[in-house]
Amino acid sequence: MHLHILGICGTFMGGLALIARAAGHKVTGCDAGVYPPMSTQLSEQGIDLIEGFGAEQLALKPDLYVVGNVVSRGNPLMEAILDSGARYVSGPQWLGDHILPGRHVLAVAGTHGKTTTSSMLAWILEAAGLRPNFLIGGIAPDLQVSARFDPAVPTFVIEADEYDTAFFDKRSKFVHYRPRTAILNNLEYDHADIFPDLAAIETQFHHLVRTIPASGRIVAPASSEALDRVLARGCWSETVRFGPGGAWQAGEPDDNGAFAVLRDGREVGVLRWGLGGEHNRMNALAALAAAEHAGVPAEQGLAALSRFGGVKRRMELRGTVRDIKVYDDFAHHPTAIATTLEGLRRQVGDARILAVLEPRSNTMKLGTMAARLPESLQRADLVFCFGAREGKQALGWDPAQVLAPLGERAKSFDDLEALVAAVATAARPGDHVVVMSNGGFGGVHGKLLEALAK
């Protein structure tokens, strides 16, 4: 079957393309601004890429168009597809209909930590010799790629996003996955562009819970009011809790970050690794509990996690210049920003932290969470916020006004070069500069390292 994928360079749709190719399909695709690293991965697999969404692509005459959620009405190719009566389907539905049935699907959902926890879980199963299939929204160096598929392998780890499926299917992506094991890592209000309130997101999580079989397992935090409300609406599967008060618990970390892991009050081992922060300890507990349901004992899971190297764009050290470290982090929600800075603060002690922030997500651009930013940035010594005045990334609020409670510690910029110059001027040896954005941020990491070198 020939599949033509619209929006192929996104992490999810690009991973889906690699899976479809591995399943034996002919795959082509298109996107606006075909870009690496996904374009490189796809080309290496013999997948032809077309720049843009021109209606002339109807001439390819694929058996099926697979549509990503970046495509909306008015898209020239999509309009031509609708006019022609050609067959089309969303990416999540195609995956749910053609790849996932009959497999032990382990889905990782939650507002925060999906990519990291999915990567941990896939790595535990990989280290246990299960060679899992997976589709994850990032690349863990241990796994080397973001997606992998072998039709002979019965397990599949998937990052289960609550964002909507497509312009013609407003259900969350994860309702198509039908997991046997599901991690519900946490739940907060997000995606203000599609959900009016937290209750609307809870309803989508409830729909997910309704698809999990009685023989399945739900892994959830011991303390989460939102997830408690979700499960109270109906739960037909085993529920295993993690965190304080749960079946899986983490002891206090020592000076090197190592901590004991307890299962039902019994210590099953000590996890020694290079990842810091309470959030990563909770991610590890969730991954261990899910892996156990797939047959991997806790001791074996701990041994695997001790070798886990993290995920790109999660406190990834991009370079050190004049004893000034520059990190890249995907944090873009106030809770994630606060968690990132708290973890770094514990790691660096009294050293200065310079936070460089691009409020780029739809929720942040709308200003829904703007009032929470000053509090989330309290752990930073200096804050540099970038907000474009015009174009696709323009903010609907004034960063200078929002960050005013931080006083002289915070500065806002609408010119990227001016921001880079200000950070380079302010930074001094021993500082830690953490860049937080869910996008490329104009290549600011390289620009900062170059400016610091001068």
Q: Is 335 marked within a binding site?
A: no
The answer on 427 and 320 residing in a single domain is: yes
Q: Is 111 marked within a binding site?
A: yes
The answer on 132 and 22 residing in a single domain is: no
Q: Which of 306, 339, 365 is the last residue of a domain?
A: 306
Say if 357 falls within a structural domain. yes
pLDDT score, position 291:
97
Number of H helices, E strands in the chain: 15, 23
Q: Which of 61, 93, 125 is the last residue of a domain?
A: 93
Which residues face 220 on adjacent strands?
Answer: 241
Ramachandran region, residue 395 (left: φ > 0; alpha: ψ -120 to 50; beta: rest): beta
Say if 393 falls within a structural domain. yes
Give the model confidence (pLDDT) of 110-143 as tens digits.
Answer: 988 888 899 999 999 999 999 999 999 766 666 7
Q: pLDDT truncated to tens, each residue of the chain (454 aa)?
A: 999 999 998 889 999 999 999 999 999 999 987 666 677 778 888 898 999 999 999 999 999 999 999 999 999 999 999 999 999 999 999 999 999 999 999 999 998 888 889 999 999 999 999 999 999 976 666 677 889 999 999 999 999 989 899 999 999 999 999 999 999 998 887 766 778 889 999 999 999 999 999 999 999 999 899 999 999 999 999 999 999 999 999 998 887 778 999 999 999 999 988 777 788 899 999 999 999 999 999 999 999 998 886 665 666 788 888 888 888 887 767 777 887 888 788 778 888 998 888 877 665 655 566 778 888 888 888 888 887 655 555 666 777 788 888 888 888 888 888 888 888 888 889 999 988 887 667 678 778 888 788 8
The answer on 404 and 270 residing in a single domain is: no
Say if 370 falls within a structural domain. yes
pLDDT score, position 345:
84
Question: CATH no. for residue 49?
Answer: 3.40.50.720
The answer on 89 and 124 residing in a single domain is: no
Say if 138 falls within a structural domain. yes
The answer on 285 and 386 residing in a single domain is: no
**Are the beta carbons of 209 and 234 closer than 8 angstroms?**
yes
Q: How many CB atoms lie within 10 A of CB 43?
A: 13
The answer on 396 and 283 residing in a single domain is: no
The answer on 294 and 249 residing in a single domain is: yes
Let me know how long the chain is.
Answer: 454
Say if 207 falls within a structural domain. yes
Say if 294 falls within a structural domain. yes
**Are the beta carbons of 313 and 240 closer than 8 angstroms?**
no
d(CA 178, CA 108): 12
- Domain residues for 393? 316-453
| 388, burial (CB in 10 Å: exposed 0-12, middle 13-18, buried 19+) | middle
The answer on 297 and 214 residing in a single domain is: yes
The vertex-93 CA angle with 89 and 97, nearest 5°, equals 110
pLDDT score, position 454:
81
Say if 311 falls within a structural domain. no
The answer on 67 and 23 residing in a single domain is: yes
- Identify whether 101 is preceded by a cis peptide bond (ω within 30 of 0): no
Question: CATH no. for residue 258?
Answer: 3.40.1190.10
pLDDT score, position 409:
87
Q: Which of 306, 334, 369 is the last residue of a domain?
A: 306
Say what the pTM is.
0.77
pLDDT score, position 263:
95
pLDDT score, position 332:
65
The answer on 212 and 246 residing in a single domain is: yes
The answer on 204 and 297 residing in a single domain is: yes
pLDDT score, position 280:
87
Summarize the chain as % helix, strand, coil (round to 5): 35, 25, 40
Say if 359 falls within a structural domain. yes
Overall number of domains in the chain: 3
pLDDT score, position 396:
67
Q: How many CB atoms lie within 10 A of CB 406?
A: 18
| 64, burial (CB in 10 Å: exposed 0-12, middle 13-18, buried 19+) | middle
Q: Is 112 marked within a binding site?
A: yes
The answer on 363 and 424 residing in a single domain is: yes
Question: CATH no. for residue 363?
Answer: 3.90.190.20
